Amino acid sequence: MQDNSGKPFAFRTQGLTKVYGEGNAAVHALRGVDLEIPAGEIVVLLGPSGSGKSTLLNIIGGLDSATDGDVYFQDLCLSDLPDDKLTLYRRDHVGFVFQFYNLMPSLTAHENVELVTEIADDPLEPEEALALVGLAERADHFPAQLSGGEQQRVAIARAIAKQPTVLFCDEPTGALDSKTGKVVLKVLKDINEKLGATVLIVTHAANTAAMADRVIHFADGHIREVVENDAKRDPEDIEW
Ligand SMILES: Nc1ncnc2c1ncn2[C@@H]1O[C@H](COP(=O)(O)OP(=O)(O)OP(=O)(O)O)[C@@H](O)[C@H]1O
């Protein structure tokens, strides 16, 4: 599927709706989201707490299912997939980065990345993935021996080692100071350029929008505005 300029889509959603719970306790997290994300872009998703950003990320990342509506990854309709096929979609195409790294404390950086490379089809070598995030020298260190920013870079190395088509990042700089946050954002930009992965970043840090190709403003379960960024900036030059 392509947009008007012939660019293929990574994702497209139509009327995507998510309701948690039932009756009086029902929470309408997504209220009919129509979205198109061209392949290869860096997309930043902004919006107030509780507006549905993580819910959207989880559904297009195949971690959760919608109550109604459709979501396509390329030409594949995820809404129709049984659980085993959804697992394959995640395994083959999706990398996740979360706010709190989720590294295994008893494994070295190299071993944390290896957990993924052992089960992927065409993975990078762990050394290569760690080099891409600038941590080749720290491969034998355990998470407790690394700073927060370094741990997040190991988590990114782990997420990209399978050479994912899409990289989903939920508050990737949320636990970091601004200087370290910029280093992490620079790594995400490099991954987008070097591996061609579509990168989708959910964040409260509105200034992150400056590095995006496209900024999606979310409010109360729907898209308020989509802005294409013609003046994309390097993460180093973002003001905090
Ligand atoms: N498992 C769940 N059960 C019930 N309600 C949920 C569940 N997960 C999320 N919600 C509700 O859905 C709405 C959207 O939540 P979501 O986490 O997607 O928002 P968000 O924009 O990512 O928020 P934040 O920026 O605080 O992470 C919120 O009202 C939240 O309380």
Q: Delimit the domains of the chain by residue range.
A: 40-61+94-237
Q: If you take atom 2 of ligand 1, which residue's CA is the nearest one?
A: 20
Pocket test for ligand 1, best of 16, 20, 202 (most atoms within 8 A of CB): 20
List residues bridging with 17 in a β-sheet.
31, 68
Q: What is the pLDDT of residue 80?
A: 84
Instruction: Verify whether ligand 1 is closer than 6 Å to residue 55 (CB atom).
Output: yes
Distance from residue 52's CA to the centre of ligand 1 (Å):
6
78 DSSP 8-state letter: G
- pLDDT at residue 18 greater than cutoff 70: yes
Q: What is the pTM of this model?
A: 0.91
Render pLDDT for 157-204 as a digit per residue (tens, 0 to 9): 999 999 999 999 999 988 888 888 898 899 899 989 988 999 999 998
Instruction: Verify whether ligand 1 is closer than 6 Å to residue 6 (CB atom).
Output: no
Residues 6+ apart with CB under 8 A from 128: none
| 188, 157 Cβ separation under 8 angstroms | no
Q: If you take atom 18 of ligand 1, which residue's CA is the nearest one?
A: 52
Hey, what amino acid is at 22?
E
Instruction: Verify whether ligand 1 is closer than 6 Å to residue 58 (CB atom).
Output: no
Distance from residue 170's CA to the centre of ligand 1 (Å):
13
ipTM of the complex: 0.96
Fold of the domain spanning 40-61+94-237: Rossmann fold (3.40.50)
